[in-house]
Amino acid sequence: MPSVGVVVLGALVLGSVALWVLARPAGQPSGRYLGEFFGVEAVLLFSCALVLATLLGFIERSFGGLDRVAQWHRRVAVAAVILMVLHPTVSGTTPVPNLTTIGKGLGSLAMAGLVILALWSLAPSLRAIKWSRFVRWLAGISHEKWLTGHRLTGVFVIAAVLHGLLVDPVLKASTPLKVGYLIVGGIGILAYAYRELFARFVVPIYDYTVVDVQRPNETTVDVFLQPVGKALAYQPGQFVFLAFGGVDGWERHPFTVASAPTQDRLEVSIRAVGDYTQNLNQSLQPGTPAKAAGPFGGFDYRPGGRYQIWIAGGMGITPFMSWIRSMDENFDRDVAFYYTVAQASDALYVDEITAAAEAHPTFRPTIVDSTAEGFLTADTAVNGLPAGVQAWVFMCGPPAMTSALSAGFHKLKIPASRIRWEQFNVR
């Protein structure tokens, strides 16, 4: 059953289609009308993508998790780019009267900017395209730089909205269509303004100090932070945005919390995969000031049933450690926990996981060395629970792992409503 958020997205799209069918002004050629509809529908979807990017709590709840929000943000943005490319192709079959230079320029700016940002987002999955040196170059740019460039999306959407107002003859000929367009475009622009200008004043910011830094291996750094004043309150499995002083000028990045809410210190584990995180791994020291914003995310096993499968892949162990550290005498789930790593030496927190299993007999962990044993399969995971039970599945790890396992669980007739997986990389 689709989530409330998906239903709302569908209703907006269908409502826009109905409006353009019912409010078509007289005298508009079919080619131009269809092309302009594609353009307006692209603006609608881009506005939806900007709203989804606000990280507002009610949006996350309506989609059933922030990872689902990220997935739909990507889907609607890709659909918007496709419609935007179709817009001039179809409407160009009928010349637009009184096309101004400014209007045309804004359209070209929006088109170029949004297409490049879309290619940049998709580049890691398109790098196999051998004829596109440009795509391979985009794929090689660090995640941090991609995030910075991605923030320009709203600027190009504003250019697209202004382009439509200045040149679209259909909007000029129909008050209902123009009003609808202004509402849709205005909401997208307001969402962008909120995220870039006002969210920092709405989301609470907490001051912390780094009190310990541990490096269990060459690519991972465990950071322990002590609150300066009031501590951030969070639920197990949530993440926060952290900015460290002295490292790239208080640049904010999301990190999943590994500690339990009852612990005095806030702990995050950071893997050095980009310029910023590599810099942290090499130079972060105790005494560094930090600021935390949040919490965000709804990755939570507690709404699930008694019998559960937990699967962590690599650094996807972090939210599960928050869950494990929060276990107490009231823990009432029967859990088969699989922690998959490239090799056994990569496994973190092994002693804590073992201790949790000894304290809670219904928590049964297994470390999977994928190099020696092969990749974990859905069939193997299900065998960790009593036969015939209704399993709930919670996963966090690389997208290739979670996608393959999710498909396997579907084949085993586990409904999608009982499979929750945290998107490990939303780019």
Q: Check whether residue 366 and residue 405 sit in a common domain.
A: yes
Does residue 292 sit in the same domain as residue 346? no
Query: Where does the pLDDT of residue 388 fall: very low under 50, low under 70, confident under 90, or very high at 90 and above?
Result: confident
Cα dihedral angle (53, 255, 408, 390), rounded to 10 degrees?
A: -100
Q: Which residue has the higher pLDDT, 133 or 75?
A: 75
Instruction: With respect to residue 239, please indicate whether it lies within any of the assigned structural domains.
Output: yes
Per-position b or e across 121-140, b if 16+ CB within 10 A of its CB: bbbbeeeeeeeeeebeebbe
Tell me the CATH number at 344.
3.40.50.80
Please list, in sequence order, all residues whose beta carbon lies within 8 angstroms of the beta carbon of residue 242, skipping any fewer than 6 positions away: 252, 253, 254, 255, 268, 290, 291, 292, 293
pLDDT of residue 250: 75
User: Two tokens at 350?
Assistant: 């092994």
Do 189 and 260 belong together in one domain? Answer: no
289 and 390 within one domain: no
Does 123 lie in the same domain as 78?
Answer: yes
Q: For residue range 344-369, list pLDDT tens digits in order.
A: 888 889 999 999 999 999 999 999 99
Among 29-33, 179-183, 296-300, 304-308, where is mean pLDDT lowest?
296-300
User: Does some domain include residue 301?
Assistant: no
pLDDT single digits (tens) 50-61: 999 998 888 988
pLDDT at 35: 92
Shared domain check, 230 and 158: no
CA pair distance 415, 376, nearest whole angstrom: 20
* Mean pLDDT score, 391-396: 94
Looking at per-residue pLDDT, the higher value among 423 and 314 belongs to: 314
Give residue for tokens 């995220």. Answer: 195
**One domain, residues 258 and 227:** yes
Q: What is the pLDDT of residue 194?
A: 93
C-alpha to C-alpha distance for 65 and 75, rounded to whole angstroms: 16
Cα(128)–Cα(132) distance, integer angstroms: 9
Write down the pLDDT at residue 97. 65
Find which of 22-36, 92-106, 236-250 is predicted with most confidence, using mean pLDDT: 22-36
Q: What is the mean pLDDT of residues 332-342?
A: 95
- 44: domain CATH number is 1.20.120
Write out pLDDT tens, residues 104-152.
899 999 999 999 888 888 776 665 555 567 767 777 776 667 777 888 9
Instruction: Tell me which residue range forms the domain holding 250.
Output: 205-296
- Say what the pLDDT of residue 32 is: 87
Residues 131 and 49 in one domain: yes
| 70 and 119 housed in the same domain | yes
259, 274, 296 - which closes a domain: 296
Distance between CA atoms of residues 121 and 310, nearest Å = 29
Q: Rounded CA gap, 134 and 141, in Å? A: 11
Number of domains, the chain: 3
Cα dihedral value 403, 408, 410, 416, nearest 10: -40
Rounded to whole angstroms, how far apart are CA atoms 231 and 206? Answer: 7
% pLDDT > 90, the chain = 58
Are residue 291 and residue 346 in the same domain, yes or no? no
Residues counted in the chain: 427
- Highest-confidence segment of 159-163, 398-402, 417-421: 159-163
**pLDDT value at residue 217:** 81
Q: Which residue has the tokens 């996807």?
A: 316
Quote the pLDDT of residue 290. Answer: 94
Average pLDDT over residues 338-344: 92
Segment 187-220, tens digit of pLDDT: 999 999 999 988 877 878 899 999 999 988 888 8
Query: What is the dihedral angle through the alpha carbons of 310, 313, 317, 319, rounded to the nearest 10 degrees?
Result: -60
Q: At what angle do helices 175-193 and 4-22 cross, to 10 degrees?
A: 150
| Residue finishing a domain among 296, 329, 355 | 296
Domain membership flag for residue 302: no
Q: Does residue 48 lie within any of the structural domains?
A: yes
The CB density around residue 320, as the number of other CB atoms within 10 Å, is 28
- Domain presence at residue 97: yes
* % of residues, the chain, pLDDT over 70: 93
Q: How confident is the model at residue 28 (pLDDT cuts 50, 70, 90)?
A: confident
Same domain assignment for residues 271 and 136? no
The predicted structure's pLDDT at residue 69: 87
In a domain, 285, yes or no: yes
* Better-predicted residue by pLDDT, 425 or 160: 160
First to last CA, the chain: 26
Instruction: Report whether pLDDT(239) > 80.
Output: yes
pLDDT in tens, 219-231: 888 999 999 989 9
pLDDT of residue 65: 75
Of 173, 202, 231, the residue that ends a domain is: 202
pLDDT digits (tens, 9 = 90+) for 251-285: 788 889 999 999 989 999 988 777 777 888 888 89
CATH number of the domain at 231, please: 2.40.30.10
Q: 370 and 317: one domain?
A: yes
